[in-house]
Amino acid sequence: MTRFVSALRRAPYLRITGERQRLLASFAAVFLFGLLAHGYAFTNFTVSHDSLNEMFLSGDIRYAAGSVADWKISLGRFLCPAYRTVFSGGAGTPWLSGVLSLVWVSLAVYLVSRLFSVDNALLLAVIGALFVTNVSYSALAATYIYDLDGDMLAMLLAVCAAYLLLRGTLRRRALAVIPIVGSLALYQAMISVTVSLVMIACILRLLESESAKAVFFDGLKAVGILFIGGAAYYILVRAVCGASGVALDSGYNSLLSLGRMTPGLLPEAVRSTYDTWVRSTVRQPVFVPLPVTRAGHLLLAVLTLAAAARFLLRKQLPAANLLLALVLAALLPMGMNLSNFLGYAGMEAHDLMKYAFCLVYVFDILLLRQCLQSLPESRVFSGCAAISLALIAALVWGNVQTANALYLKKDLERQATLSRMTELCLRLDQTEGYVPGETPVVFIGLPSFDTPEALGSVSQITGAWEKSTVGGGYYAAYFSYILQTPIRIGSESELPEGAQPDAMPPFPAEGSICRAGDMLIVRMG
């Protein structure tokens, strides 16, 4: 095992000798694994509930207060409309969004490899694969494809911020305020990437016996700049909302949800943050059998801890370095799951907010590499590094399988919904007195289809739990965008007295469509 690791490290064809090589290797790794995992989503229109409703930036089908653009501004993501207008023309375009997202991820991987001086092509390829095959990326591609490239740009800006915070003079570090604001204005949850990378870099510096005092004060400077960036972002949000006449939304995923955190909620927020982190790493929904992934994660943790313990015993770090490194390592899950902590009063973080979780494997790789570099002849380190890398590679492959299974589920769901809704159109046209676009139609319930048992596990991923494309009741959007048929949606509250929709059988059974005054009732589920 020692010989294998040594040969792997010294292989000339794996050595990255220049920035051009590093950039090309980053793009090659991300595009290879990205297309392998997500090519299905990029080349098929796997429309879902939210991607259906927000297919067009100017659409106002659901949001009575304004357009989809206004909705994004109300969430504090005021750069989203501008970004989508410039890069996609305001339309949800899967292939374009997918390719652009891979470009942004490739540049992020390049910066990470520079930040941590990754000069081995194999390690860089694994890092690139982790960045582009994680569950957060897959959830975005499956259900929120219109936001995929914008959110990956937010992630790239978060990496840029970390790079600036960790390199150069204080003046140069202060420039990090710009990408911090940009990242927050596209998707706030990506700030966890910045925080996590800074924490990882500080831990590695401490293990290299750098001055604990210097690392501590560098960390404080980074925190200060992050706060300045957050304040600047908040001022800009208020300014944009004031200028556009859009009020900030108060929903669970909005900026205002951060203000609901109180001292009384702090203990439960901390518990929830760590609990979510553990469940989402060790027990994350995957297509492969869960016991296998759990065993793999357990073995990976044991190997990493064993290597770290042996390293600390032989390295004999100063007490201050050891203490600070252990504190930062204990707080790292908090940094990765910062969205859960800050927005706990609103809702537990979902998969889209957990992109930074993939950095735990990057940290593992960098930590084991540092152990090997410090004590290169150790069989313990060599064995731990080789097995750990193999386990992470297996995890990546599991992510690829999960992504493809997820897209298959969404496509089957799309086809089933299209079949059902096409039949509904025919039945409506055959209903006496029905005039498309004029007769109000009240929909009760949602169409539901049985997910094949083999795909059931991926239904736990955010956005994949819906049973049909019109999940959430997006009937108007479906008729307008997919069927391209006029429809006038009525409200259940407008039904006349005596109407009994609960007594109706679900569509397509006879009696699932009936007249109530000048309205039609359709019971879908």
Q: List pLDDT tens digits, range 464-477.
A: 777 788 866 688 88
* Closest-CA residue to 339 (of 154, 68, 206, 146): 154
Cα angle 50, 56, 61 (rounded to 5 degrees) comes to 70
CA 421 vs. chain centroid, Å, equals 30
Q: What percentage of the chain has pLDDT greater than the value 90?
A: 41
Predicted confidence at residue 187, as pLDDT, reads 93
Asked if 78 contacts 499 with a C-beta cutoff of 8 angstroms, the reply is: no
Predicted confidence at residue 64, as pLDDT, reads 47
Instruction: Please state whether the predicted TM-score (pTM) of the whole model is above 0.85.
Output: yes
Average pLDDT of span 68-81: 88
The answer on pLDDT for 511 being more than 80 is yes
Predicted confidence at residue 68, as pLDDT, reads 81
Asked if 408 contacts 400 with a C-beta cutoff of 8 angstroms, the reply is: no
Average pLDDT of span 404-433: 90
Predicted confidence at residue 251, as pLDDT, reads 60
The answer on pLDDT for 256 being more than 60 is no
The answer on pLDDT for 252 being more than 60 is no
pLDDT in tens, 15-42: 788 899 999 999 999 999 999 999 999 9
Predicted confidence at residue 63, as pLDDT, reads 46
Domain locations along the chain: 2-9+18-406, 413-523
Residue listed under structure tokens 């479906």: 478
Cα angle 276, 278, 280 (rounded to 5 degrees) comes to 65
SS3 422: helix
Comparing 240-254, 318-332, 378-392, which segment has the lowest mean pLDDT? 240-254
Q: How far apart are CA 438 and CA 28, in angstroms?
A: 54
326-358 burial by CB neighbour count: b if 16+ within 10 A, else e?
A: eebbeebbbbbbbbbbbbbebebbbbbbbbbbb
Distances (CA, A) of 81 to 54, 107, 116, 174: 11, 23, 34, 27
Predicted confidence at residue 454, as pLDDT, reads 72
Encoded tokens for 455: 């795909």
Q: How far apart are CA 38 and CA 143, in angstroms?
A: 12
Predicted confidence at residue 2, as pLDDT, reads 52
The answer on pLDDT for 184 being more than 90 is yes
Encoded tokens for 353: 């907010």
SS3 443: strand
Predicted confidence at residue 285, as pLDDT, reads 60
Q: Which of 254-268, 293-307, 404-418 has the highest mean pLDDT?
A: 404-418
